[in-house]
Chain A
Amino acid sequence: MTDRSDILPTRQSMGGIADQLTGIPLHFPAERRWLIAMIFASALLLLLMISVVELFTRGVGIWGINIPVNWAFAIHNYVWWLGIGHAGTLISALLLLTGSEWRNSLNRFAETMTLFAVVCAGIYPILHLGRPWYVYWMFPYPATMGVWPQFRSPLEWDIWAVLTYLTVSLAFWYTGLIPDLAAARDRATRRGWQIFFGVIALGWRGSAKHWLRWSQAYRLIAGLAVPLVVSVHSEVSLLFAAGQIPGWHSTIFPPYFVLGAAFSGFAVVSIIAVTLRSWFGLENLVTDDHLDLLGKVLLATGLMTAYGYVFEVFDAVYSGEKHELQTLADRFAGAYAWTYWGAVIFNFIPLQALWWRVVRRSGWMLLLISISVAIGMWLERYMILVTSLYRDFLVSSWSHFTPSFWDWSTYFGTIGLFLVPFLIAIRLIPMISIFETKELLHEEKVEKPHG
């Protein structure tokens, strides 16, 4: 039994954990910091609203897109946000199925992150439609015009993939939340909280029969969520790979995109883990061991993403195809070479520090590396989109892309769209899974009775 070390300090009691975690919503400890963050996030959300109103009034011409670069920030940020969402599902579902206990302290806020990141991703395909108020045309409803949606189009796949991903993530998140909502209900003393948690806990009482059916449902939904994650991002990469544009038309795309997504997602999970831990004093639950494991996962997914970079170069050179080589040269030394080298530098150079244990166990270092990875992955998506499009087959259609003010404001606005509901969620629900943490603590105590 020496191969598995304890991840939670066994000194703490189950009741203590329940009080500590339900205490975060019930007796909110970090009002000031939360309020400052909320004001900042609301300002960004307001910026998004202004940008969207401007877009709806004047059309997509306010963005910097043109021919041939007619897919820029909208799809770029869609891919980036969707990628961030993926780590949440992977942490929750994949690690649940493989029985990795260290997920327990991380899964709840990782899942919450997924929900809101997918919302941010989901608005982009709608915004870039040109006439976004006709988005309902994407659904097969019996229109009097007799026009049905085009199911052979990747844009149509997007709608179904993102909505399914959002709905299943929501179902998985809520299923895991019910027992903790009941714990919060039982700790609540103020009438308002009692009613709020009482209603959303659905009357959960922890009966053995309930747990039995609940566990089965939770595991099965997790089992469905794992292929769903892979399929959603593969679908996104198919939008690219199914086209003939040099630099996109490659078989490496689905795994390359899925791993890159997990990479950026784990980076954002690390950012959130380090921040919440210091805000709410959760060092006893999100321990240095958790950061250590997050660091290892980040390093592993980063190296797999690096393999994608190498393979992309190999693919172009091995094909010997003129336009592929041209795109490769453009990435190395063209007008947008800064995005390629920026991606390489931000993604992989600071990452190498994670080989050292002392770096992985330091919250600050992990935070800085994760921010660097989030920026690096953002640059990578930019690079994939723009460097392929700005010089395609015809010299006569070569052109450049410069993001306009509204490109930037919409992007920064979506950060507000992510942060505002996330901060509200921190305020309202237990951000670390209470019952799973207690279960793990109990297992550890049984295994090590003298600890």
Chain B
Amino acid sequence: MAKELYGALAEFKNPEDLLAAVRRARKAGYRKLDAFTPFPVEGLDRILRLPRPRISFVGLIGAIAGATTALIMQFYVNYAYPLNVGGRPVYAISAFAVVTFELTILFSALSMLVAMLWQNGLPRLNYPVFGAERFDRASKDRFFLCVSAKDAMFAPGETLVFLSEAGALSVELVPQ
């Protein structure tokens, strides 16, 4: 039975109730928790103990890759087809600055966008929680806490009771 479940979903009225419930769940020993909210709730990541994302690192690598690509491209192009314009230097680094800067930004921004989607596992058009009856309000005005069925302490009946005692407006089991 437990194998076919994704987890237990509890609905809360506002972010404060959700934060209180997450604290309570962590105290009770639940570890595999996730929350679904209509906007980023401040402090939620700390209480859920989510690891810090590494998007900035990806952005830095993207920036270095962009600058390198731009410089190599411009030097190579002027090497392969040197144009003498009034005796001006062929390898004019100051004239290369604009394109180098632009490509640095371009590579960095795009790599961060891709990294964000990749780490979030998007696009993934279907997901178990979408099957939950009241989940459409997660993008409107309700705050959801989900206890994964993979959690060591997960037991369908007890978890639901625990969640309603934590102040949930409604609780339900989400099938896998």
Contacts and interface: CB of A to CB of B under 8 A. Distances in A.
Interface of A: 13-15, 18-19, 140, 146-152, 156-157, 160-161, 164-165, 167-168, 171-172, 174-175, 179, 182-183, 185-187, 198-199, 202-217, 220-221, 224-225, 227-228, 231-232, 235, 238, 435-436, 438-439, 442, 446
B105 A209 contact: no
Contact of A151 (B45, B88, B95, B105): B95
B140 A148 contact: no
B57 to A, nearest CB: 10
Contacts of B68: none
Interface in B127-172: 127, 129-130, 136-141
A174 B130 CA distance: 22
Contacts of B74: 151
Interface in B97-117: 98-99, 101-103, 105-106, 108-110, 112-113, 115-117
14 contacts: A13-B141, A18-B140, A157-B102, A165-B102, A171-B113, A203-B127, A205-B130, A212-B50, A213-B53, A213-B116, A214-B116, A216-B116, A221-B109, A446-B16
Nearest to B112: A217
B56 interface: yes
A183 B140 contact: yes
Contacts of B139: 18, 179, 182-183, 185-187, 206
A299 to B, nearest CB: 30
Contacts of A172: 109
A-B complex: 6 closest residue pairs judged by Cβ atoms: A202-B123, A217-B116, A14-B141, A439-B39, A211-B40, A183-B139
* Best-surrounded residue of B38, B44, B113, B141 (most CB of chain A within 10 A): B38
Q: How large is the interface on B (under 10, 10 to 19, 20 to 34, 35 or more residues)?
A: 35 or more
Contact of B140 (A15, A205, A215, A231): A15
Contacts of B124: 202-203
Given A148-B80, A164-B105, A167-B110, A205 B129 contact: yes
A171 B109 contact: yes
A212 B45 CA distance: 7
A208 B148 CA distance: 14
B16 to A, nearest CB: 8
Nearest to B99: A160
A156 B83 CA distance: 14
B176 interface: no
B109 A216 contact: no
Contacts of A168: 105-106, 109-110
Interface in B18-69: 34-41, 44-45, 48, 50, 53, 55-56, 59
Given A18-B141, A208-B36, 10 more contacts: A148-B81, A152-B83, A161-B98, A171-B113, A185-B139, A208-B34, A211-B40, A214-B40, A217-B113, A438-B141
A74 B67 CA distance: 31
Contacts of A217: 55, 112-113, 115-116
B129 A231 contact: no
B44 A208 contact: yes
Contacts of B141: 13-15, 18, 438
B2 interface: no
B92 A152 contact: yes
B7 interface: no
Contact of A161 (B56, B95, B102, B125): B102
A175 B55 CA distance: 14
B73 A220 contact: no
A208 B99 contact: no
Interface string B63-91: 00000000001100110110101001000
Question: Which of B35, B96, B117 counts the most chain A CB atoms within 10 A?
Answer: B117
Contacts of B40: 211-212, 214-215, 435, 439
A412 to B, nearest CB: 30
Contacts of B36: 205-208
Contact of A220 (B34, B39, B77, B112): B112
A428 B34 CA distance: 31
A231 B120 contact: no
Nearest to A433: B39
The residue in A202, A217, A436 that gathers the most chain B C-beta atoms within 10 A of its C-beta is A217
B91 to A, nearest CB: 10
Contacts of A216: 53, 55-56, 116
B1 interface: no
B20 to A, nearest CB: 14
A208 B43 CA distance: 10
B86 to A, nearest CB: 11
Contacts of A179: 38-39, 139
Nearest to B73: A140
B35 A207 contact: yes
Contact of B98 (A13, A19, A208, A231): A231
